Amino acid sequence: MLNITDKTLLDTISGFSLKPENAAFNVRKNGQGLDRRSTEHVQIVSKTDKPGIDINVLPGTKKETVFIPVIITETGVADTVYNDFYIGEDADVTVIAGCGIHNSGCEEARHDGVHRFFIGKNARVKYIEKHYGEGDGTGGRVMNPVTEVFLGENAVCEMETAQIGGIDSTLRETNAFLEAGAKFNVTERLMTHGDQTAKSNMRVELNGKNASSQIVSRSVAKDRSEQVFNPVAVGNAAGRAHVQCDSIIMDKAKIRSIPEIAANDADAEIIHEAAIGRINNDQLLKLMTFGMSEEEAEAVIIEGFLK
């Protein structure tokens, strides 16, 4: 049974309403499976050797959505889960994940999610993941996601990840391996405040001819928070990759961006851009002329930047 806190967390991280019509889902709470449903074309089964699930999407499956949200509402919970996605050839699916932590106690609450995607030839996956923390306790809210993506010939993966607030510490690891003609586009959005820390390591390897990738990182660091970004793009065959890191720094925060590009093939084209700066004063003043306070104007600019 879901209480008000559970429902609020689930809606915040995934827009999930209990048992959405015609959708496969698996809901996890405090380290245990809470509810699950498979469909004709999407089968979800428990692993037998470790915590987690296998999500099997049949070849040719079209326009189906899979929800796999996780919530933690008890202090002292340390949850590690392993989820593997097997996407059949020519399938087209959306996966909506995310984790929400409500910690009102004095112990740390942590979720470490390990997701692996095996995406078949000509298949398409859109993956949406949001992380969020809340609660008035002194215990930490920690998330350490690991995502690995293996794309077959001409497969496509679009990934949108966001940390929308309240996470005290996070270490994000993302790795993608692309065969011929595959595309991997990822947009990462991070917000930190207080004394929070966030580190994001990302590595994309173009292993097949005409593979391509676009990596976009946007972040805002407030107060005394610290962020480190380390995106790596490697061209092992003829292909294209573009890495872009843009950050807004405020107050006493610290941000480091360490993009790396490497080409091991004469026909690989790898580009990177990185920028860190304060909020544009002209934008701030223009919004304030409309009657907004400085704080309200900052909030509007940040919201637009992270969209």
Domain assignment present for 286: no
Query: What three-state secondary structure class fits 298?
Result: helix
Cα–Cα distance for residue pair 272/214, rounded to 1 Å? 10
Residue 114: predicted pLDDT? 98
- Predicted confidence (pLDDT) per residue in 202-229, tens digit: 999 999 999 999 999 999 999 999 999 9
Tokens, residue 255: 């941000």
Mean pLDDT across the stretch 111-115? 97
Residue 64: predicted pLDDT? 96
Tokens, residue 203: 């590595």
Domain assignment present for 300: no
The crossing angle, in degrees rounded to 10, of helices 281-288 and 294-305 is 120
Domain assignment present for 199: yes
What is the model's pTM?
0.95
- Predicted confidence (pLDDT) per residue in 21-38, tens digit: 889 999 999 999 999 999
Domain assignment present for 307: no
Residue 18: predicted pLDDT? 73
Residue 295 gets which letter from DSSP?
H
Determine the distance from the C-alpha atom of residue 128 to the mean position of all C-alpha atoms in its chain, rounded to a whole number.
7
Domain assignment present for 269: yes
Residue 239: predicted pLDDT? 98
Residue 9: predicted pLDDT? 96
Residue 149's nearest CA partner among 168, 166, 173 is 173
Q: In which domain, by residue range, is 209 found?
A: 4-280
Domain assignment present for 285: no
Confidence of residue 100 (pLDDT cuts 50, 70, 90): very high
Cα–Cα distance for residue pair 202/172, rounded to 1 Å? 8
Residue 255's nearest CA partner among 274, 230, 229 is 229
Residue 85's nearest CA partner among 123, 56, 60 is 56
Confidence of residue 199 (pLDDT cuts 50, 70, 90): very high
Cα–Cα distance for residue pair 299/307, rounded to 1 Å? 12
- Predicted confidence (pLDDT) per residue in 242-273, tens digit: 999 999 999 999 999 999 999 999 999 999 99
Q: Is the pLDDT of residue 307 over 90?
A: no
Mean pLDDT of the chain: 96
Domain assignment present for 302: no
Residue 56: predicted pLDDT? 98
Number of domains, the chain = 1
Q: Is the pLDDT of residue 17 over 80?
A: no
Domain assignment present for 293: no
Amino acid at 172: R
